């Protein structure tokens, strides 16, 4: 991801989480601190831009059912913006909390953005070391917002400047106290699309080369239909288009068998795979609003053998 785009991407993701926490019910994932990292002026500005771009998102013949700014904003966030970030975060943190019972005591967040896990779980300050990896500019962006919100980082949270296109980040991770011999949980959310397949392979092999059995990773990925699918209200097509326009084109999508082989080469086996249909059933079933699982997006929990 280009450094100039990293802050904007993180801000939009946090906006989606903040909106859901404040306005949607029932909650899929309640990031009640996300709003603290966005000023009221920024929230209003992002909301205004979304509403102004409504015709881009909604190309339906009859748009009159969304006739107020509030209705338009709700429709955009629920259909286009929030579904994947909310469900993948809910899945990832659910797996992590289970893994803690099984002995995990290190958590590495790859592409942390404006993640708030360490602040939402102060009870883990003495039992879990948390390493947040992201571009230096993204981390500076977050530090400024934490300072403005008067949120003090807990002692168990560590900053690690990182670029995942290569193995250069690993020495920095070690320098911050990461112990490769300890059982570790890794998360890689919203990142695999933007890495080449070679970089994804190298990343997994670097992370798990010395990891003990039982260490694991949760990540989301796009299947091989990514570039040929329009999706609900053209949301998949729009997602691909907006990523390219923002200067961070999506580079990789995978057939399940291809990804299975890539993981096997890194010493991992797939413990759980959630297809879009499975994600819909687990996180979106019986909702009466517009939130639904994104087409072509899958989640995987893979474990070191």
Got the DSSP string for 32-68?
TTGGGGS-HHHHHHHHHHHHHTHHHH---S--TTS-S
**Average pLDDT of the segment spanning 246-273:** 96
Could you please report the per-residue DSSP string of 120-164?
Answer: H-GGGTTT-EEEEEE-HHHHHHHHHHHHHTT-PPPTTEEEEE--S
Q: Given the structure tokens 């003090």, which residue do they identify?
A: 152
As a whole number of angstroms, the distance between CA 56 and CA 83 comes to 18
Given this model, what pLDDT does residue 59 score?
72
**Average pLDDT of the segment spanning 122-138:** 95
Which stretches of the chain are DSSP H helices? 3-23, 40-52, 54-57, 69-76, 83-101, 117-120, 136-148, 169-175, 197-208, 235-245, 256-265, 276-279
As a whole number of angstroms, the distance between CA 10 and CA 189 comes to 12
Residue 6, SS3? helix
Does the structure show a pLDDT above 70 at 166? Answer: no
**Average pLDDT of the segment spanning 57-81:** 82
**Average pLDDT of the segment spanning 128-145:** 94
Domain ranges of the chain: 3-81, 83-304
**Residue 245: burial class (beta carbons within 10 Å; 0-12, 13-18, 19+):** exposed
**Average pLDDT of the segment spanning 178-186:** 97
As a whole number of angstroms, the distance between CA 110 and CA 107 comes to 10
Does the structure show a pLDDT above 70 at 60? Answer: no
Range with lowest mean pLDDT among 57-66, 135-144, 283-292: 57-66
CATH top-level class of 83-304: alpha beta
- Model confidence band, residue 155 (pLDDT cutoffs 50, 70, 90): very high
- Model confidence band, residue 21 (pLDDT cutoffs 50, 70, 90): very high
Distances (CA, A) of 283 to 263, 269, 274, 276, 295: 26, 24, 11, 10, 14
Does the structure show a pLDDT above 90 at 153? Answer: no
Given this model, what pLDDT does residue 176 score?
96
Distances (CA, A) of 197 to 32, 221, 224, 255: 35, 11, 13, 12
- Model confidence band, residue 1 (pLDDT cutoffs 50, 70, 90): very low
Does the structure show a pLDDT above 50 at 248? Answer: yes
Given this model, what pLDDT does residue 61 score?
46
CA 108 to chain centroid, in Å, comes to 13
Reported as a single tens digit per residue, the pLDDT across 206-246 is: 999 999 999 999 999 999 999 999 999 999 999 999 889 88
Tell me how many degrees the CA angle 161-194-162 measures, rounded to the nearest 5: 10
**Average pLDDT of the segment spanning 166-180:** 88
Given this model, what pLDDT does residue 64 score?
55
**Average pLDDT of the segment spanning 98-127:** 96
Q: Which residues of 171-183 are buried (b: 16+ CB within 10 A; e: fewer)?
A: ebbeeeebebeeb
Kindly state the helix (H) or strand (E) to which residue 102 belongs, with its residue range. none
């Amino acid at each position: 991801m280009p450094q100039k785009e990293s802050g904007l991407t993180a801000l939009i993701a946090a906006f989606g989480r903040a909106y859901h926490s404040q306005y949607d019910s029932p909650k899929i994932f309640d990031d009640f601190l996300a709003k603290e990292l966005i000023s009221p002026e920024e929230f209003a500005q992002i909301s205004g831009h979304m509403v102004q771009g409504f015709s881009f998102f909604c190309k339906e013949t009859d748009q009159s059912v969304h006739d107020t700014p509030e209705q338009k904003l709700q429709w955009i966030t629920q259909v286009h913006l929030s579904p994947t970030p909310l469900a993948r975060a809910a899945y990832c943190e659910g797996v992590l909390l289970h893994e803690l019972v099984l002995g995990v005591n290190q958590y590495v967040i790859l592409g942390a953005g404006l993640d708030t896990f360490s602040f939402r779980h102060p009870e883990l300050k003495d039992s879990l070391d948390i390493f947040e990896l992201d571009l230096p500019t993204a981390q500076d962006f977050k530090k400024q917002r934490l300072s403005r919100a008067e949120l003090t980082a807990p002692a168990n949270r560590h900053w690690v400047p990182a670029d995942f296109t290569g193995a250069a980040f690993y020495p920095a991770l070690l320098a911050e106290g990461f112990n490769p011999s300890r059982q570790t949980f890794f998360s890689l959310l919203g990142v695999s699309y933007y890495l080449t397949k070679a970089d994804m392979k190298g990343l997994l092999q670097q992370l798990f080369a010395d990891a003990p059995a039982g260490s694991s990773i949760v990540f989301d990925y796009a299947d091989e239909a990514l570039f040929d699918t329009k999706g609900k209200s053209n949301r998949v097509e729009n997602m691909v288009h907006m990523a390219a326009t923002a200067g961070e084109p999506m580079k990789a999508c995978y057939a399940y068998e291809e990804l299975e082989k890539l993981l096997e080469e890194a010493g991992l086996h797939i413990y759980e795979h959630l297809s879009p249909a499975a994600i819909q059933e687990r996180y979106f079933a019986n909702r009466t609003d517009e939130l639904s699982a994104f087409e072509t997006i899958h989640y995987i929990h893979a474990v070191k053998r």
